[in-house]
Amino acid sequence: MKFLSEYRDAGVVEQYLEAIHKLVTRPWSIMEVCGGQTHSLVKNGILQLLPKEINMIHGPGCPVCVTPVEIIDKAIWLADSGVVVCSFGDMLRVPGSKGSLLEAKARGADIRILYSPLEAVQIAAQNPDKQVVFFAVGFETTAPANALSVLMAQKQGLHNYSILASHVLVPPAIEAIMDDPESRVNGFLAAGHVCTIMGISEYYPLVEKYRVPIVVTGFEPADLLQGIYMTVKQLEDGRAELENQYARMVREEGNPAAKDTISQVFEVTDRMWRGLDVIPQSGYKVKPDLAEYDAEDKFEIPAGNPVDNAECIAGEIMKGIKKPFDCPNFGTKCKPENPLGAPMVSSEGACAAYYHFSGITLPEEQLK
């Protein structure tokens, strides 16, 4: 297939569904790591079309969802302190312990929604009397552009630009999920866009260590169903291998230029994941020799000890222990316009996907 429309073709989708129905003989739980994959599964009604034996578990692959409360609070503190804070739009309504960036903007803070961190560098160049911080959130996919913004600021001699980094990495998250005693994952659909940047070499040790199939998968309906088929085929055969369904985009080595850009600016560090605690060596931080571009090093941000909202079960949802509808506040006390946690407000959050696209009626007792 050559064109995007072919990956949405109903006939192709029906063929894969039929093949999966014929193949499966027992229950299997498969985690799609990426929130974009979750939205595609829910939006296209795939969950309802799969055989009852296939349980799709929604993983922690939503970067907004796993950004910890502490980092949100730091961004709000910077904004309230007169710093120009630039961010992607889906971060604005994510709740911290002291409200959200959107509420800070309503108070008069200079918070700007951008499509690229390179725009933030331009803002810094145009406003030399102001400090400009880009809220650098994301998985490996957004790391190259965020790193490039630092290199551009350095090249231009800008001393009023920095980033507040909250980057997280997929392979350590998979390891943390498999090490959790409550985990019931039999196989993974890995995020194709992450592997487009980083390649697939980091997944071979995970397959070997945990004896679980990992299939690198795209995001269209045919991609996902082919990825599910490949995973189920391995499970039914008693195999555990790394396979690449998304071969039209993903190469073994990834994108060397993007990886080189990342390595110039970032180094690996332990990282707190919202709802999941600290995962060792699971994130990026700015290297010490570029400390002037690290907002956490540049500004004296007060240390806090915020905790997640006790009414939100985001951690259990992102580990695959529970589904959004298992939350007693889903669709009632917790809605996109007033979220208790990030998965309800993020464009890749599992709760938001179920809320907008599932079409499943809430239990009557939750509607009271």
DSSP, res 2: -
187 phi/psi in degrees, rounded to 5:
-165, 165
Is 364 among the domain residues? no
Which range (38-47, 162-171, 347-356) has the least confidence?
A: 347-356
Radius of gyration (C-alpha) of the chain in whole angstroms: 21
Domain tally for the chain? 1
Beta strands in the chain (DSSP E): 28-34, 54-61, 84-87, 111-113, 132-138, 161-168, 187-191, 214-217, 242-244, 266-273, 277-286
The answer to whether residue 360 is domain-embedded is no
- Pairwise CA distance, residues 134 & 144, whole Å: 14
Tell me, what CATH number does 228's domain have? 3.40.50.11740
CB 257 within 8 A of CB 117: no
Q: Phi first, then psi: what are they for 137, rounded to 5°?
A: -110, 145
Stretch among 114-128, 143-157, 227-241, 262-276 having the lowest mean pLDDT: 262-276
Which strands form 187-191's sheet, in the order they lie side by side? 54-61, 28-34, 187-191, 214-217, 242-244
Range of the domain at 113: 1-355
Residue 367 maps to a domain: no
246-273 average pLDDT score: 96
Reply yes or no on whether the pLDDT at 255 is more than 70. Answer: yes
Query: Which tokens hold the place of 252?
Result: 């073994």
Checking if the pLDDT of 230 tops 60, the result is: yes
- Nearest by Cα to 138 from 363, 313, 347: 347
Residue 277 pLDDT: 82
Predicted pLDDT of residue 365: 40
Q: Does the pLDDT at position 313 exceed 90?
A: no
Q: CA 46, CA 58: separation in Å to the nearest integer?
A: 13
Whether 306 contacts 97, CB under 8 Å: yes
pLDDT of amino acid 361: 41
HEC letters along 51-110 = CCCEEEEEEEECHHHHCCHHHHHHHHHHHHCCCEEEECHHHCCCCECCECHHHHHHCCCC
Question: Residue 3's pLDDT band (boundaries 50, 70, 90)?
Answer: low
Of 88, 270, 264, 241, the C-alpha closest to 169 is 270
Cβ-contact 245, 195 below 8 angstroms: no
pLDDT of residue 314: 78
Q: Residue 362's pLDDT band (boundaries 50, 70, 90)?
A: very low
Mean of the per-residue pLDDT values for the chain?
Answer: 90
- Could you give the CA distance from residue 115 to residue 89 in angstroms, rounded to a whole number? 8
Asked if residue 130 has pLDDT above 90, the reply is yes
C-beta of residue 215 within 8 angstroms of C-beta of residue 231? yes
The answer to whether residue 365 sits within a structural domain is: no
- Tell whether the model's pLDDT for residue 363 goes beyond 50: no
Residue at 286: amino acid letter: V
- Per the domain annotation, does 17 fall within a domain? yes
CA 107, CA 96: separation in Å to the nearest integer?
Answer: 16
pLDDT at position 39: 86
Domain annotation covers residue 362: no
Out of 42-51, 269-278, 312-321, pick the least confident.
Answer: 312-321
**Confidence at 347, pLDDT banded by 50, 70, 90:** low
Q: How far apart are CA 34 and CA 291, in angstroms?
A: 31
Say what the pLDDT of residue 367 is: 35
Q: Is residue 303 part of a domain?
A: yes
- Long-range contacts from 312-316, C-beta under 8 angstroms, 24+ separation: 312/275, 312/340, 312/341, 313/341, 314/65, 314/274, 314/275, 314/341, 314/342, 314/343, 314/351, 315/274, 315/275, 315/276, 316/275
